[in-house]
């Protein structure tokens, strides 16, 4: 999920945040899009039916709930990552996912990721720096970088060891393999879930270990970094079909296979999460802001931390993730 | 360009979200006829006090969702109780018949609004509750068999029946009806 900035100019200059006409067009489009987005959200709140599914309660944090045997689900994710310390930055990550319940404890998913990026004078010292999925690109320091690309194909498996409904603590293990242009990543999670108050209050914690291999063409895949994340979520079903909560994310990057040696970056995010679950449909949204708690390490890129926030190419100030999904099969 | 990508899933949300529905299996009247054939019913309105709520929660280990009991006295003897438990996102209404001694005579699921877990309607699964005594604190996978793929519904219906059995012991038995 990460990749370090590989290029910055010998002579670094902090950007004065210029906005060119193209950028203005882009920003106008974003504002128009935001208004439309808001209208759609309102519409969704008004007209979405009472339905249901087995679905994620959080945008980023996983729970141990899985699809029952033989059921399947289609999910669409949209993650928007925006705002750096300077310049303009907008990264739109999309995922289309198909999930299948192999049995009541084991779920398989196949999905594809595709992203768009706009970057201008956004990196350390005001250098245009693409977002992490586009880190194979090296635009000029003053380029208006725009790109839309297929990123990867992913296979994910989740096995539940303990159900939170019948045991003191829900426990599941997760493993994912991502293969894309010039990179291969495996993401491994331990998922813990504890429920309270008739399962209407859900606390979840994920520990993620994700080594990532990348190559410079031509060349072999070599370890680029290892991500170690700790994600926490708490949510409460405040009325039928509706859950509201918060998520806290701690992301760390290491320049080794371990998660205790050669730390490069660390960032902390916090924000609200809301979830609607219907009979065969769900929608989940989380907004998080990076907290000013980042710290410098010996290998942190100079200029990456501004105002206590890490702005290396896998970090930004805000993230919004929206997931929608439809389940198939179920009640006769 | 990027805004369009952002809107894709939300647009799909509006397009694909179908009409809502709940599967109603039995009305209250139908459940009464099924559980007490030929009987007539006298509603017994009871509002639980705070002390009774605490006592029920202590005895059953389950939260009381509604202080207003929906209880009927059957002319042939026994009680008909309509209650509901938390489902994954909706509530699951169910009916419980208790005999004169407060033991479970039968269980019916009135409605089911969830995509999965409706196997709790299986008569063999519901039959496990028959004969359970007042005050019994039932536990899924110990006293009551779980149904794989319907765990949450099984757990909550089991809990709900424990709550009703505690309610009988603490409230209905003493009510003088």
Same domain as A306, residue A162: yes
> Can you read off the two tokens belonging to residue A107?
């779920």
> Can you read off the two tokens belonging to residue B76?
């042939």
Q: How far is A114 from chain B (nearest CA, A)?
A: 10
Cα A134 versus chain centre, distance: 15
**Alpha carbons B76 and B38: distance in angstroms, whole number:** 8
Output the tens digit of pLDDT for each of chain A's 332 residues. Answer: 444 433 333 323 233 333 344 344 344 444 444 454 444 444 444 433 333 335 899 999 999 999 988 889 999 999 999 999 999 999 999 999 999 999 989 999 999 999 999 999 998 889 999 998 898 888 999 999 999 999 999 999 999 999 999 999 999 999 999 998 888 999 999 999 999 998 999 999 999 999 988 877 777 888 888 999 999 999 999 998 999 999 999 999 999 888 888 999 999 999 999 999 988 899 999 999 999 999 999 889 898 999 999 999 889 999 999 999 998 865 44
pLDDT at B43: 95
Q: Rounded to a whole number, what is the distance in angstroms from the first to the last CA of chain B?
A: 70
Closest of B79, B82, B103 to residue B26, by C-alpha: B82
Same domain as A142, residue A28: no
Note which residues in 35-64 of chain B have CB less than 8 A from chain A: 62-63
Report the residue of chain B nearest A285, measured CA to CA. B10
List CB contacts (< 8 A) between A146 and chain B: 1
Q: Which domain holds residue A129?
A: 52-328
> Can you read off the two tokens belonging to residue A232?
């926490």
Output the CA–CA distances (angstroms, integers) from residue B154 to A102, A244, B133, in the order listed: 21, 25, 19
Report the residue of chain A nearest B144, measured CA to CA. A166
List CB contacts (< 8 A) between B88 and chain A: 52, 54, 277
Question: SS3 of A303, please?
Answer: coil
Same domain as A155, residue A40: no
Instruction: Please indicate whether, in this complex, the C-beta atoms of B115 and A34 are within 8 angstroms of each other.
Output: no
Residue A239, class by beta-carbon neighbours within 10 Å (0-12 exposed, 13-18 middle, 19+ buried)? exposed
Q: H or E stretch including A21?
A: helix A21-47
Give the nearest partner residue to A71 out of B62, B63, B116, using CB atoms: B116
**Alpha carbons A119 and A211: distance in angstroms, whole number:** 26
**Alpha carbons B39 and A27: distance in angstroms, whole number:** 71
Contact A81, A327 (CB under 8 A): no
Instruction: Give the mutation candidate from A199, A279, A283, A286 for the B interface (greatest B CB count, under 10 A).
Output: A279
Same domain as A205, residue A172: yes
Q: H or E stretch including A5?
A: none
Is residue A7 included in any domain, yes or no?
no
Is residue A3 included in any domain, yes or no?
no
Q: Are strands B41-43 and B46-47 parallel, antiparallel or unpaired?
A: unpaired
Mean pLDDT, rounded, of chain B:
87
Give the nearest partner residue to A198 out of B86, B89, B90, using CB atoms: B86
Instruction: Please indicate whether, in this complex, the C-beta atoms of A200 and B156 are within 8 angstroms of each other.
Output: no
Same domain as A37, residue A129: no
Q: How far is B75 from chain A (nearest CA, A)?
A: 34
Q: How far is A37 from chain B (nearest CA, A)?
A: 6
Instruction: Give the mutation candidate from B17, B142, B144 for the A interface (greatest A CB count, under 10 A).
Output: B17
Q: How far is B87 from chain A (nearest CA, A)?
A: 9
Contact A59, A233 (CB under 8 A): no
Is residue A2 included in any domain, yes or no?
no
DSSP assignment of B63-110 equals ----SEEEEEEETTSSEEEEEEEE-SSSEEEEEEEE-TTS-EEEEEE-
Q: pTM score, two decimals?
A: 0.82
Question: Per-domain residue ranges for chain B?
Answer: 19-172
**Alpha carbons A149 and B129: distance in angstroms, whole number:** 57
Report the residue of chain A nearest B119, measured CA to CA. A331
CATH of the domain at A200: 2.40.160.40
Give the nearest partner residue to A78 out of B5, B88, B91, using CB atoms: B5
Sign of CA pseudo-dihedral A165, A201, B19, A74: negative
pLDDT at B159: 96
Is residue A289 included in any domain, yes or no?
yes
Closest of A322, A270, A242 to residue A78, by C-alpha: A322
* Rounded CA Rg of chain B: 19
List CB contacts (< 8 A) between A327 and chain B: 115
**Alpha carbons A287 and A285: distance in angstroms, whole number:** 7
Q: Mind listing the pLDDT tens digit for each residue in A227-275? A: 999 999 999 999 989 999 999 999 999 998 888 889 999 999 999 999 9
**Alpha carbons A49 and A280: distance in angstroms, whole number:** 9
Size of interface A-B (CB pairs under 8 A): 164
Q: How far is A157 from chain B (nearest CA, A)?
A: 18
Instruction: Please indicate whether, in this complex, the C-beta atoms of A331 and B118 are within 8 angstroms of each other.
Output: yes
Contact A214, A181 (CB under 8 A): no
Region label for A91, one of left (φ > 0), alpha (ψ between -120 and 50) or beta (otherwise) = beta
DSSP assignment of A22-54 equals HHHHHHHHHHHHHHHHHHHHHHHHHH--S---S
Instruction: Please indicate whether, in this complex, the C-beta atoms of B116 and A54 are within 8 angstroms of each other.
Output: yes
pLDDT at B19: 42
Question: What percent of chain B lies above the pLDDT cut of 90?
Answer: 73
> Can you read off the two tokens belonging to residue B27?
């009305």
Instruction: Please indicate whether, in this complex, the C-beta atoms of B13 and A48 are within 8 angstroms of each other.
Output: yes
Same domain as A253, residue A182: yes
Give the nearest partner residue to A69 out of B10, B149, B151, using CB atoms: B149
pLDDT at A27: 40
Contact A152, A177 (CB under 8 A): no
Output the CA–CA distances (angstroms, integers) from residue A13 to A8, A20, A141, A242, in the order listed: 10, 18, 10, 48
Instruction: Please indicate whether, in this complex, the C-beta atoms of B159 and A198 are within 8 angstroms of each other.
Output: yes
Question: SS3 of B103, please?
Answer: coil
Q: How far is B138 from chain A (nearest CA, A)?
A: 13
Mean pLDDT computed over B9-31:
65
> Can you read off the two tokens belonging to residue B50?
């705070």
Main-chain dihedrals φ then ψ at residue A19, nearest 5 degrees: -125, 115
Same domain as A182, residue A94: yes
Same domain as A43, residue A56: no
Question: SS3 of A294, please?
Answer: coil
Same domain as A75, residue A21: no
Same domain as A34, residue A159: no
List CB contacts (< 8 A) between A326 and chain B: 16
Same domain as A153, residue A276: yes
Closest of A244, A242, A246, A322 to residue A278, by C-alpha: A242
DSSP state of B172: I
Note which residues in 116-175 of chain B have CB less than 8 A from chain A: 116-118, 140-141, 146, 148-152, 155-156, 159
Output the CA–CA distances (angstroms, integers) from residue B17 to A16, A96, B10, in the order listed: 46, 17, 10
Residues 6+ apart with CB under 8 A from A324: A75, A76, A281, A282, A283, A284, B9, B10, B12, B13
DSSP assignment of A52-116 equals --S--SSSS---S--PPTT-EEEEEEEEEEE--SSSEEEEEEEEEEEEEEEETTEEEEEEEEEEE
Contact B48, B64 (CB under 8 A): yes
Is residue A10 included in any domain, yes or no?
no
Closest of B9, B5, B10, B11 to residue A116, by C-alpha: B5
**Alpha carbons A184 and A181: distance in angstroms, whole number:** 8
Residues pairing with A81 in the sheet = A91, A319
Domains: count for chain A: 2
Instruction: Please indicate whether, in this complex, the C-beta atoms of B7 and A200 are within 8 angstroms of each other.
Output: no
Q: Which of A125-129, A312-316, B70-74, B117-121 has the highest mean pLDDT?
A: B70-74
Report the residue of chain B nearest A51, measured CA to CA. B20
pLDDT at A54: 58
Same domain as A219, residue A141: yes
List CB contacts (< 8 A) between A47 and chain B: 14, 17
Instruction: Please indicate whether, in this complex, the C-beta atoms of B2 and A200 are within 8 angstroms of each other.
Output: no
Is residue A22 included in any domain, yes or no?
yes
């Amino acid at each position: 999920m990460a990749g370090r900035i590989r290029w910055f100019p010998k002579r670094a200059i902090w950007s004065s945040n210029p906005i060119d006409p193209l950028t203005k067009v882009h920003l106008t489009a974003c504002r128009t899009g935001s208004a439309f987005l808001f209208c759609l959200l309102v519409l969704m709140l008004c007209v979405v039916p009472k339905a249901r599914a087995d679905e994620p309660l959080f945008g980023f944090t996983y729970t141990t709930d899985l699809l029952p045997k033989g059921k399947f689900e289609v999910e669409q994710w949209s993650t928007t990552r925006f705002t750096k310390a300077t310049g303009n930055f907008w990264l739109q990550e999309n995922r289309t996912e198909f999930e299948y319940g192999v049995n009541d404890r084991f779920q398989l998913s196949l999905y594809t990721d595709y992203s768009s990026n706009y970057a201008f004078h956004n990196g350390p010292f005001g250098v245009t720096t693409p977002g992490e999925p586009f880190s194979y690109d090296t635009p000029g320091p003053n380029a208006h970088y725009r790109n839309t690309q297929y990123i990867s194909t992913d296979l994910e498996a989740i096995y539940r060891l303990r159900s939170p409904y019948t045991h003191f603590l829900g426990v599941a293990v997760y493993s994912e393999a991502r293969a894309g242009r010039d990179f291969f990543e495996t993401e491994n999670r331990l998922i813990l879930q504890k429920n309270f108050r008739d399962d209407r209050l859900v606390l979840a914690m994920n520990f993620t270990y994700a080594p990532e291999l990348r190559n410079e063409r031509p060349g072999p895949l070599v370890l680029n970094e290892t991500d170690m994340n700790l994600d926490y979520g708490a949510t409460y079903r405040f009325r039928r079909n509706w859950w509201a909560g918060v998520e806290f994310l701690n992301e760390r990057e290491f320049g080794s296979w371990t998660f205790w040696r050669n730390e490069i970056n660390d960032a902390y995010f916090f924000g609200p999460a809301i979830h609607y679950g219907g009979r065969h449909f769900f929608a989940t949204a989380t907004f998080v802001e990076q907290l000013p708690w980042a710290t410098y390490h010996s290998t942190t890129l100079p200029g990456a931390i501004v105002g206590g926030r890490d702005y290396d190419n896998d970090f930004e100030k805000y993230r919004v993730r929206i997931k929608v999904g439809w389940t198939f099969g179920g009640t006769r | 360009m990027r805004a369009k990508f952002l809107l894709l899933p939300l647009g799909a949300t509006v397009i694909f979200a179908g009409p809502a529905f709940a599967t109603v299996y039995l009305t209250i009247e139908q459940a009464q006829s099924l559980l007490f054939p030929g009987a007539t019913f006298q509603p017994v309105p009871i509002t639980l006090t705070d002390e009774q709520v605490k006592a029920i929660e202590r005895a059953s280990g389950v939260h009381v969702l509604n202080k207003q009991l929906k209880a009927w006295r059957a002319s042939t003897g026994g009680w008909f109780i309509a209650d509901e438990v938390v489902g994954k996102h909706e509530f699951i209404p169910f009916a419980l018949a208790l005999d004169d001694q407060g033991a479970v005579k039968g269980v019916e699921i009135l409605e089911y609004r969830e995509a999965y877990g409706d196997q709790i309607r299986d008569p063999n699964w519901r039959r496990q509750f028959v004969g359970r005594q007042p005050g019994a604190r039932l536990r899924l996978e110990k006293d009551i068999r779980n149904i794989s793929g319907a765990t949450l519904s099984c757990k909550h219906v089991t809990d709900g029946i424990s709550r009703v059995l505690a309610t009988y012991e603490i409230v209905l038995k003493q009510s003088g009806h």
